Structure 1
Amino acid sequence: MRRGAGEKRAAAYTNPTSRRKKPIIIGIAAAVLLIAGIGVALALTLGKHKSTDAAKDSSTSSGDAASNPTASGSPTGKIAIVSGTDGSTVTASDGSTFQYSNPFGGTWYWDPTDPYNNAARPQTWSPALNETFNYGVDKIRGVNLGGWLVTEPFIVPALYQTLQSRPTTTGTIIDEWTLVEAMQADTANGGISQLEDHYKTFITEQDFVQIAAAGLNFVRIPLGYWAIEVLDGESFLPKTSWTYFLKAVEWARKYGLRINLDLHALPGSQNGWNHSGRLGTYNVMYGPMGIANAERSLNYIRILAEFISQPEYRDVIAMFGVTNEPQGNQIGLPNLQTYYYAAYNAVRTASGTGAGNGPMVSFHDGFIGLDQWAGYLPNADRASLDSHPYLCFQGQSTNPINSYLTTPCDQWGGSFNSTMAGFGFIVAGEFSNAVTDCGLYVNGVGQGVRYEGTYTTGGPWPTLGNCTTDWLDYQNWDAPTKKAYITFAKASMDALQNWFFWTWKVGNSTAGVVEAPHWSYQLGLQNDWMPTDPRTAVGQCNNANPFTGTLSSWQTGGAGAGSIAPSVQAEFAWPPASISFAGGGASPASLLPSYTQTGPLMTLPTATLTAAASATAKGGSGWFNSADSTGFWEPVATCSYLDPWIGSSVAPPSPLCTGGVGVGVRRGMKQRLNEERVVEARVTAVPTRRR
């Protein structure tokens, strides 16, 4: 999100709805229910529109599971139920049972012996995972799982507040970097295991059940690069969040939800905001380490692309946002587009082109303006634009929420329609119900708020009122206020057409309440200020000309997909000619630290399968395209590198390289940058990975 530094958490997370455990009733009634469940499972299996991989075809079918008493690992003599609809009993991944509640005809599907079966459907009107999702026709109605695998103080405030109050904490905890440092010092309370406790409890299987039951069909999941690896000196917990992302894939598959994998945080930070992992400078495609950090990021994009392009995952992980919210105005549009083209190539090389081959590639607009993207990468295979429209970070007002009921229509509808025509498919990857920046830590820890005149950036900001009494007292909102918020939410949904609300849930603060209520879809449902059926948003803007056309064939993976003209390929060839620095000026890319493609390939692990499943399914190797064998970008031992987080006004090391230089490393005499932009550079040894 574009927040300047947003965050959240809770000592006691806000529980969704309580689980209702239903005992197994022995007798004729139970037998009838079991037989009905078998019928559903058989119908789902026989009614598949497509099969996505050999593992699915060769593994035990749902019909076999239903007829074989032990096919799903159930006690001998009991029939395994692998699917059901509203009112059926589900066995959760932790072994507990609950009643599935979905008023929109959703169908869950989970057979432990056939773990990559994609028969589930979130609602009757949304395609099942084994059916084609027609972009531009089928609507993306989604939510973000913000604050989970990339923490933010305003989404999980109690996590930050609790650590801040501990005697071992020194300094202020403002981002995940400082959070991890505080946890590592807090050994009396479990040390870094506290972060995994957060992963275990903040988002669970029940959240996926509720998301489908809310009429939503997609989840956008922010992931930090540390899910793959970190280098020595980087204060992030490596690899652990990947385990929980795989759980999310399992739960999404079970309840028919598609995933937009969002690479939310890059090494060196792509925007300098706290949700990039570390608040401060940004160093991707900007400053002395801009090229090196971008090349390292391309490694991670490639690793993720190879994994999610495997047949076991590609129908569930349908979209890949390759970089969240880069600072496009400072990076420059040509350089950002060059980086995106390199990322696009990494994904398409991994997956191939054409419908069904790997994910839709999503590019954030970089805050540059949607009109600037018209005509970018014509004939690119399934390329999408991502925009994050927010009202709350603009000028503040004391006007009540009922004065904003048509604002989303007026501000966003026209530009999204024209982008569908001028660029192609566009999705609002983030938006919220907030019209002011009120809310605990919404701008960041200790950053203040514009509305109260305390924001520490820009200004001066006039004091307009008190956030708590004017905007945050949701427990006492009356019926007209709640109705106004529902209308505002519908206007946003209708104007944006394909969207992901930010975010699904916001945790309590240590005060025991949600202190940023406008950002929680779940809280809005629980308190009657979010629409219970998002389809009712259609037509809210009274738009006489919403986008109803057909996307170009190449945008949906059809004819011409991937046939990018040689002139376009040359225009965006890697690397860019130069990189901008803070304070103005630029440096030729050839004079900056860079990596060489001689490193070993790296794959991500798959989920651990049960004994019953492993007999028929393997989960893939982690690397889909065996012909994608060019080495990873890696440092050269004879070259100098700065700290990846050094800042964007520092001079590159001089000399850049000595002795033999590896393939692809650029050499040249160092041109001194303006003295006012030179600070002491921290030249480091060749970085090593923490495995």
Structure 2
Amino acid sequence: MSGPSYDPVPLSTDHTDDVPYNRPLSPETRHSAYQSPETQPLEPHDDLPPGAARPRFLGAALNDDGPNPRSSYASSSNSFPIADDYSSSVYALNADRAPGSRDPTFYSLNYRDDPHDGDFNDSQPGVSKMSPAMQSSPYLSEKRNTYAAPRDRSRRKLFIIGGAILGLLLVIAVVVGVYFGVVKPKSAKSSDNASGALGDEHTSAKPSGTSAPTPGVRAAVTGGDGSKVTTEDGTTFTYQNSFGGYWYWDSEDPFNNGARAQSFTPALNETFRYGIDQIRGVNLGGWLNTEPFITPALYEKYANSSNPAVDEWTLSENMAADGGLQQLEDHYKTFITEKDFAEIAAAGLNWVRIPIPYWAVETWDGEPFLAKTCWTYFLKAIQWARKYGIRINLDLHAVPGSQNGWNHSGRLGTINLLNGPMGLANAQRSLDYIRIISEFISQPQYKDVVAMFGITNEPQAPTFGQENLIRYYLEGYNLVRAASGIGEGNGPMISFHEGFTGLSKWSGTFVNSDRTSLDVHPYLCFSNQSPDPYSARANTPCSAWAAGQNNSIGNFGLTTAGEFSNAINDCGLYVNGVNLGTRYEGTYTPGNWPRVGSCQQWTDYQTWDDDMKQDIMNFALASMDALQHYFFWTWKIGNSSVTGKVEAPAWSYQLGLQEGWMPKDPRQAIGKCGGKNPVGALKPWQTGGAGAGQLDADFTSSYAWPPTSISQGGAATLLPSYTPTGTVRTLAAPTFTKSAGGGVDAGQGWVNTADTAKGMVPIATCSYLDPWVGPSAAPPAPLCSGGTARRDNTPTPIITSPPSLA
């Protein structure tokens, strides 16, 4: 369809012909595909300066000549060709309208990412139009009756006594009603919910304040806007949520799912209708899986040491030699707290994506990470999310050996998942962790809160091939569904990152799979740099992303943007990595980038005027509308220990709210791309309905696990592998004790009692390389022998006792 024109992002014009979609590039071009460090995954990166860390992000620039290969393909000599329909799309999701139309009601009358959202007030974006009847308070008649004048003075005393008794009974009835109204799980199907004034209203008890204990009745603790919240450590704050959300926390009933983030979001004990209810989320990046640019103070301390901290591996080594790893737990305690979850719900957001690393489960000898501690804080995140009605997308962000070689994968360097001599063994171990996590989060105590599971973040398919990635995903899918079962409500939605292959490459895969979704991370900031202001980029997200997102929802199913940001250039402390510089200022290495200007104007947010803040907000709203279901990266950027302020402001949702460039109501994004209704409800099997789990036999046989060969490793039978003879580690549950004595059933960490398979461990007579050895190393020879001792220094890991299957 036709649509408005947009200013393209400047790109290099260094190509050999003018044929769209078919432009051979050369290493000399300044396209980010050749100059960005995130595009050289196959090399050991000895060319990087000390302390240099590749950025976590991939993002191709826009080009009005058509799509180019994503930057990750640049250094891959064995990648398959693609045509990326996603990151370089020039098709906007726009409806036809009268030329020059500026009718402010156009968007609200046409485009709806939530078909139940109400009409918006023309003069007050985000505020619903209401009929006089709707504007009338439903409590007014009750108030009038309560304060009606007495009819007879002689009967006044009798009325007073009777009123007191009636009032006491009313209080008891309200308390009991609230308690049982929110306790009852799945009390109201979403299809029965009424449409409210501010959008999709889901019926449930809606307390406006904290309920007071009544003698003889155990009151449920809950509250809405203006209520006082008492945290675990006894501190208090006032809950401010103007969207009709309310919190719920009862220490006697800690697994109650009665809370609601907003009136337009289903409560946790109601069904979230994927494809209808919109995912408006934010990441909690840098918390349980640290990253230099998100938590710079942790890294600045060791940035210039003899062993610079460039990733959590080297950070852990530095901390261990300087006071101990408990410094990381101090970070876990303070960086994200309960109040953040309250603020997220109050910001109109209903999901959080929480990255966790594999060392939340365990570490093996030689791995310096702080083992298992971050899991304790993920359990706190579950409790806080439950309290404020927020759903969690748990993202396995780092796996053994690294899935992409970037600093956020735990260790900067090479790709060793499905790549190189340890590629198979690392994948086996990673799948074990997927299984262990699935067994925990599929328990009835957790499944309604941890509602989505991203089984591996940003794997580099251009390095090891989409075929083997599908094999890995299919095995992960089978493990998750073995834990949870098939059908709606039985465990999490499974999220697959598209692996930098392009969304269209996944069309036709996982057909009839039970509750699978596709994840993509669109960024605009790591390509050629431009001095253009935000005002020139206002519609870029619409032209770049809207059509690709809609096509993927129609062809694959639910498609989310697991990460995106407001950044339009690579300015910001450590955004590209520790001591790596920026393209914008011409200091980025490796490569030879011309200086565009100073980054100060893009990082010194305290000097931004109202016009610039509004331009950034317009960019953010366009991004939200184009992506439809999204998780902004990230909620919070920590202060620099040197300057005392945030040095990457375009990446902080929280700071944007405080300073005025993020919307107070994310529903203001509706219609920013000018389109009509996007793709509606998903197919039944995509949400656990009819046909779910009935995958095609040819598909499952074609992508059976394990792979027959491994990229840069050769035949799988000639590579090190683990054996399923070890005891499976289970994840710990929180402990709750009722005031009357006795504990609360928090689960045993293992939901599927029929799953008694063993865990992966090394074979005593086989030889292994370091999991991060790199793809150029030769496999051990001989690989295994009955009389051959292991030739590395990796002992058999210590495994915990088996799960209770009673």
TM-score, normalised to structure 2's length? 0.74
Query: CA shift at 1:689, angstroms?
Result: 3.7
CA 1:208–1:46 in structure 2 vs 1: closer, same or farther (change >3 Å)? Answer: closer
Q: Hey, what does 2:627 align to over in structure 1?
A: 496
Q: TM-score, normalised by structure 1?
A: 0.86
Out of 525, 538, 552, which is 2:657 matched to? 525
Q: Assess if the C-alpha contact under 8 Å between 1:69 and 1:80 holds in 2.
A: no
> Which has the higher mean CA deviation after the structures are superposed, 505-514 or 153-162?
153-162
Distance 2:799 2:256 in 1: 35
Q: Quote the Cα distance in structure 2 between the aligned partners of 1:494 and 1:218.
A: 16
Which amino acid is 2:708 matched to?
A: A
1:9-28 equivalences in 2 (<5 Å): none
Matches within 5 A, 1:203-602: 203-457=336-590, 459-469=591-601, 471-510=602-641, 511-544=643-676, 546-548=678-680, 550-581=681-712, 586-602=713-729
Partner of 1:5: 54
Matched residues, number = 620
Q: 1:213 to 1:385 in 2, by over 3 A?
A: same
The CA deviation at 1:461 is: 1.2
Does the residue aligned with 2:739 lie in a helix, a strand or coil?
helix
Structure 1 partner of 2:735: 608
Which 4+ residue blocks in structure 1 deviate beyond 2 angstroms?
2-7, 31-52, 65-71, 162-165, 610-617, 681-691
| Separation in structure 2 between the aligned mates of residue 601 and residue 97 of structure 1, nearest angstrom | 41
Within 2, Cα distance between the matches of 1:37 and 1:240? 41
Aligned to 2:318: 182
Q: Pick from 638, 642, 651: which aligns with 2:778?
A: 651
Question: Counterpart of 2:797?
Answer: 688
Cα distance, 1:591–1:47 mapped onto 2, change above 3 Å: closer
> Matched residues in 1 for 2:357 and 2:339: separation?
23
State which of 295, 306, 309 in structure 2 corresponds to 1:173.
309
Contact 1:230/1:690 (8 A) holds in 2: no
Distance in structure 2 (CA, Å) of the matches to 1:70 and 1:224: 46
* In 2: Cα distance, 1:565 partner to 1:123 partner: 39
Paired with 2:723 and 2:740, the residues of 1 have a C-alpha distance of 41
**Which is higher, the Rg of structure 1 or of structure 2?**
2
Q: Could you tell which deviates more after superposition, 178-187 or 409-418?
A: 178-187
Q: For the structure 1 residues 94 and 400, does the alpha-carbon distance in structure 2 shift closer, same or farther, using more than 3 Å as the test?
A: same
State the alpha-carbon separation in 1 of the partners of residues 755 and 183 from structure 2: 36
Q: Which residue is 1:141 aligned to?
A: 280
Q: Match of 2:252, as an amino acid?
A: T
- What is aligned with 1:154? 293
Judging changes above 3 Å, is the alpha-carbon distance between structure 1 residues 129 and 46 closer, same or farther for their aligned structure 2 residues?
closer
Letter aligned with residue 527 of structure 1: E
C-alpha change, 1:597 and 1:47, in structure 2 (3 Å) is closer
* 1:228 and 1:242 in contact (8 A); partners too: yes
Tell me, yes or no, if structure 1 residue 44 matches structure 2 residue 177.
no
Q: Which of 96, 106, 115 in structure 1 is aligned with 2:235?
A: 96
**Contact 1:6 / 1:152 at 8 angstroms: preserved in 2?**
no
Instruction: Give the match's secondary structure for 1:102.
Output: coil
SS state at 2:496 partner: strand
Q: In structure 1, how many angstroms separate the alpha carbons of the residues matched to 2:660 and 2:181?
A: 34
Distance in 2 (CA, whole Å) between partners of 1:660 and 1:357 is 47
Residues 365 and 794, structure 2, Cα contact 8 Å, conserved in 1 = no
Shift of 1:634: 1.5
- Kept after mapping to 2: 8 A contact 1:355/1:558: yes
Contact 1:154 1:442 in 2 (8 A): yes
Deviations 1:296-328 (A, max 9, x none): 000000000000000000000000000000111
The DSSP-based 3-state class of the residue aligned with 1:602 is: coil
Taking a change above 3 Å as real, the CA distance of residues 123 and 580 of structure 1, as seen in their structure-2 partners, is same
CA 34–206 in structure 1, closer or farther in 2 if over 3 Å, else same: farther
User: CA separation of 1:687/1:397 partners in 2, compared to 1, >3 Å: closer, same or farther?
Assistant: farther
Mapped partners of 1:116, 1:444: distance in 2: 40
Rounded Cα–Cα distance in structure 2 between residues aligned with 1:515 and 1:494: 27
Name the CA distance, whole Å, in 2 between partners of 1:477 and 1:528: 10
Unaligned runs of 5+ in 2: 1-36, 39-52, 57-163, 190-206, 801-806
Q: CA deviation at 1:542?
A: 0.4
Q: Deviations over 1:567-606 (max 9, x none)?
A: 111111111111112xxxx501111111112221221110
1:510-544 Cα shifts (integer Å, max 9, x gaps): 11010000000000000000011011101100023
Q: Determine the C-alpha separation between the residues in 1 that align with 2:220 and 2:496.
A: 41
Letter aligned with residue 593 of structure 1: P
- Percent of matched pairs sharing the same residue: 59
Is residue 170–residue 182 contact of structure 1 (8 Å, CA) maintained in 2? Answer: no
Residue 44 (structure 1) shift: 3.4
SS of structure 2 residue aligned to 1:445: coil
How much does 1:683 deviate? Answer: 3.5
What is the distance in 2 between the residues matched to 1:102 and 1:660?
Answer: 67
Spell out, residue by residue over 1:3-33, the C-alpha distance to the aligned partner (whole angstroms, 9 max, x if none). 67349xxxxxxxxxxxxxxxxxxxx9xx999
Q: State the SS of the aligned residue for 1:260.
A: strand
Relative to 1, partners in 2 of residues 1:40 and 1:634: Cα closer, same or farther, differing over 3 Å?
same
* More displaced stretch, 173-182 vs 248-257: 173-182
Tell me the equivalent position of 1:126.
Answer: 265
Structure 1 residues 690 and 83 mapped into 2: Cα distance closer, same or farther (>3 Å)? same
Deviation at 1:92, TM superposition (A): 1.0
What letter matches 2:563 in structure 1? E
**1:253 maps to amino acid:** R
Mapped contact 1:229–1:239 kept (Cα < 8 A): yes
* Number of the residue aligned with 2:768: 641
Aligned with 1:683: secondary structure?
Answer: coil
Contact map agreement 2:617 2:662 (CA 8 A) in 1 = yes
Letter in 2 for 1:84: G
Q: CA deviation at 1:649?
A: 1.2
Q: Secondary structure at the match of 2:714?
A: strand
How far, CA to CA, are the matches of 2:645 and 2:170 in structure 1?
A: 41
Residues 232, 690 of structure 1: 8 Å contact kept: no
Amino acid of the structure 2 residue aligned with 1:226: W
Instruction: Report the CA distance shift for 1:570/1:468 in structure 2 as closer, same or farther (over 3 A).
Output: same
CA contact (8 A) 2:172 2:214 kept: no
- Work out the CA distance in 2 between the residues paired with 1:535 and 1:361: 26
| Structure 2 residue 744 is matched with structure 1 residue 617 | yes
Shift of 1:49: 3.0
| Counterpart-to-counterpart distance in 2, 1:307 and 1:151 | 23
Offset from partner CA, 1:206-232 (integer Å, 9 cap, x none)? 000000000000000000000000000
What corresponds to 2:249 in structure 1? 110
User: Alpha-carbon deviation of 1:684?
Assistant: 3.7
Report Cα offsets for 1:277-300 as digits up to 9, x if no partner.
111111001111000000000000
Residue 245 of structure 2 aligns to which amino acid in structure 1?
G
Gaps of 5+ in 1: 8-27, 53-61, 72-78, 662-680
> Residues of 2 paired with 1:351 and 1:244: CA distance?
23
